[in-house]
Chain A
Amino acid sequence: MSLVKPFDKLPTLNSAAILLVGTDESQQQQLAEAILKEKKIFKINIHVATSLPLPAERDHIRPRIDLIVFMINMQSKHSLRNVEASLSHMDANFFLGKVCFLITGVGRMNHCSVEMNAVRKLGNLYCSPVLFCELESEGIRVATAQRLLRMLQICAGHVPGVSALFFSSLMKSSIDE
């Protein structure tokens, strides 16, 4: 069982890798397809996993992971517990902007089993942005794919002058000012 480390491998030219972690495989597939459909100027590797740690056997062929997206479904407490368990199997350097939480299922409040406080606390505790989306709707899926693609570009270092550390400004709300 290997710990996922952000800087232990050399980056490949003009490419980036994103890892989606979550219990709902169909949602991950949908999101992955939406990301692949987008217009991009670099190569993307999308890796999909149900939980961390990743199996050690394929570690040498795996590219360097630039962005990890944890998908939590508000209608299933199991997905939250799964993500919480996976978070302990990561190298701390990842939390410098290379982790993002993606929350689905908030649209139907009557079916929510996870309380909002828990999700906000998770985002604050791990200093990572929390994005909300409804992957069933086509428009929102495309918009989320575009956001993730932009974040991936920044995390992989393809945008000069902008680093992943700047994502902490996404977490401050304008109420604070």
Chain B
Amino acid sequence: MDTPDSGGKTPLGRKTAETGINFTSSTRFSRGLTFIRTHTLFGQSPTRRIIPQTSLLQENADSQKIAFLLRKQWTLYSVTPMYKFSYDNLKEYSRLLSAFVATEKQKGLAVEVGNDLGIKVTLSTFLGLKGTDQDQIAILVQIASRSQLPFENAEDKVVWSGWFCCISGDDLLESVPEDFTCLSLFLANGAESYTAIVGSWFQKTFDCYFSRLTISPLNLAWMAAMWTGCKVDSHIAATELVFSVPCIPQSLDISYAIHPEDAKALWDTVQKTPGEVTQEEVNLFMDCLYSHFHRHFKIHLSATRLVKVSTSIASAHCDGNIKILHSKHLIGVLMLLTELAISQIQ
């Protein structure tokens, strides 16, 4: 059967089985017009991931702002590329977004004209959150309520924050046309209503789409393995895995906590090349933990669903919530999340 060659089909992997029957085990497509997928066929996850060894936080990172990101629960969203977003107009965007938030909040309330609800929105750039030089600069959006006190130097209280970033999103950046800005990962902390309002403003103004980033048990297992292997000097916490067992009438949750030294020792015996993690190593690590649990409790954890992973570095929940605890590994965590966000968009 002749296939047309216009799209640029390039079979990269072909394997012949020993029996002599010709099977194809993996074929990669390259759709030249749109984007090149690193993991193409449906549901495939990468076989290996690189862990950045050194702290890639760039020198001009504001340490106070970085500290603001840590130890907070962030809800994850993936964002499609934004059209005609310009870094020069941030003040203008702040003003428009303030007005939008104020009107949305006042909907349905009978308020006198000219009354200022005391909401101030600021958009600012967040320097230093970059994986490679082609990454776009991160944007921080904050909603602060103006203090009601009459003092001159009374501080505004931040009620909601959200930030856009994209760490090492190279494969998406290459394929996107000129006027688009790729800031694929959005993290929000604060009231859900504000998130919805800010999200709808961005969607309307820049023609992008926000969707909740859920993390599958496979990716949570990757996170457990990768984060256990990272070296942490202070605030070492136990590695905890939470599993959900589908039961009637109410589902059962099993929490499995492992001493951090033991978990790291196990991971060190499993990992072969430092700086690189393969799917087999992750499977082996998780299988060891499952068989240990089975030996003691006779419960097959492999038949349950992994819903939450907490390590000393960060903790992640399958609904798309994350909390990062160490600034040294911030870029590594964000790089993994950006990869998940981009694969969800694609």
CB-CB nearest in chain A for B301: A78
Q: How long is the Cα–Cα vector from A124 to B3 in the complex, in angstroms?
A: 24
B25/A76 in contact, CB under 8 A: no
For this complex, into which size category does the number of interface residues on chain B fall? 35 or more
A116/B318 in contact, CB under 8 A: no
B255: CB under 8 A from chain A?
Answer: no
Q: How far is the CB of B193 from chain A (nearest CB, A)?
A: 25
Q: How far is the CB of A176 from chain B (nearest CB, A)?
A: 5
- Find residues 1-33 in chain B having any chain A CB closer than 8 Å to their own CB: 1-3, 9, 11, 15, 17, 19, 21-27
B300/A109 in contact, CB under 8 A: no
B43/A177 in contact, CB under 8 A: no
A127/B305 in contact, CB under 8 A: no
B216/A177 in contact, CB under 8 A: no
B47: CB under 8 A from chain A?
Answer: yes
CB-CB nearest in chain B for A76: B303
CB-CB nearest in chain A for B320: A110
Q: What per-residue 1/0 map shows which CB atoms of B29-45 lie under 8 Å from chain A?
A: 00000000000011111
B303/A112 in contact, CB under 8 A: no
Q: How long is the Cα–Cα vector from A113 to B215 in the complex, in angstroms?
A: 11
Q: How far is the CB of B79 from chain A (nearest CB, A)?
A: 19
A175/B303 in contact, CB under 8 A: no
Q: How far is the CB of B88 from chain A (nearest CB, A)?
A: 39
Chain A residues with Cβ below 8 Å from B73 are none
Q: How far is the CB of B140 from chain A (nearest CB, A)?
A: 29
Known: A110-B214, A121-B25, A124-B25. A77 touches B302 (CB 8 A): yes
Known: A76-B302, A175-B27. A112 touches B217 (CB 8 A): yes
A109/B3 in contact, CB under 8 A: no
Q: How far is the CB of B321 from chain A (nearest CB, A)?
A: 14
Q: How long is the Cα–Cα vector from A116 to B41 in the complex, in angstroms?
A: 9
Total contacts A-B at CB 8 Å: 77
B303/A171 in contact, CB under 8 A: no
Q: How long is the Cα–Cα vector from A75 to B302 in the complex, in angstroms?
A: 9
A137: CB under 8 A from chain B?
Answer: no
Chain A residues with Cβ below 8 Å from B288 are none
A172: CB under 8 A from chain B?
Answer: yes
Chain B residues with Cβ below 8 Å from A171 are 23
B279: CB under 8 A from chain A?
Answer: yes
Q: How long is the Cα–Cα vector from A127 to B19 in the complex, in angstroms?
A: 9
Listed residue (A106, A117, A124, A171) with the most chain B CB atoms within 10 angstroms of its CB:
A117
Q: How long is the Cα–Cα vector from A81 to B217 in the complex, in angstroms?
A: 17
Known: A110-B214, A115-B44, A115-B279. A177 touches B3 (CB 8 A): yes
- Find residues 113-169 in chain B having any chain A CB closer than 8 Å to their own CB: none
B24/A175 in contact, CB under 8 A: yes
Q: What per-residue 1/0 map shows which CB atoms of B303-326 lie under 8 Å from chain A?
A: 111100000000000100000000
Known: A113-B305, A115-B45. A120 touches B214 (CB 8 A): no
Q: How long is the Cα–Cα vector from A123 to B213 in the complex, in angstroms?
A: 31
Chain A residues with Cβ below 8 Å from B216 are 109-113
Q: How far is the CB of B229 from chain A (nearest CB, A)?
A: 20
A sample of 4 more A-B contacts (CB under 8 A), given A112-B43, A127-B21, A168-B21, is A23-B303, A109-B43, A111-B305, A124-B15
